[in-house]
Amino acid sequence: MAAQPKPGAIVHVEIIAKETAGVKKFFSSLFGWKFEDIPQMEYTMWSAPSGPGGGLMAPTPETPGTGQPLNYIYVNSIGEIAPRIERAGGKILVPKTTIGGGRSFAFFSYPEGMIWGLYEVVRRPAQSRKASGKPKAKRARK
């Protein structure tokens, strides 16, 4: 399992392009990127040789950032950072949206207008052995 990113790290870069097949060919042939289509989402995940990876999709009316990569910044809590973004002069464009698996995103623009994404993962605490009903392993005596 990959290490949890630190808050403030760029963890996902989304590319929005009309010709997604051309993007795949361009970046895979030049830089060795790997692509994995997710047809049910009309989305493609990509990975670079040494992260971060991201996604690729065709533009939609709801898609912010068309024409520029959309960088996602990892945060501990979208709910805590969103008001701070607004107090600093930014604007929340898409509020916190849950996408399953404890993951959520939101979009904001900073004062000069560039759009950025926020990414949050709510990790469930590990179940204790007592709570799981499993007995503790006994240590062998020497």
Residues in the chain: 142
Amino acid in position 47: S
Chain segment 45-95, per-residue pLDDT in tens: 999 988 889 999 988 877 755 667 889 999 999 999 999 999 999 999 999
User: Residue 106 burial by CB count (10 A; 0-12/13-18/19+): exposed, middle or buried?
Assistant: buried
Could you give all domains of the chain from N- to C-terminal order, each with its CATH number?
A: 10-123 (3.10.180.10)
DSSP 51: S
Distance (Å) of CA 4 to CA 10, 94, 122? 12, 25, 11
Angle at 112 between CA 106 and CA 114, to 5 degrees: 40
Chain segment 89-130, per-residue pLDDT in tens: 999 999 999 988 899 999 999 888 888 999 999 876 665 444
Q: Cβ of 124: how many Cβ atoms within 10 Å?
A: 6
Q: 3-class DSSP state for residue 12?
A: strand
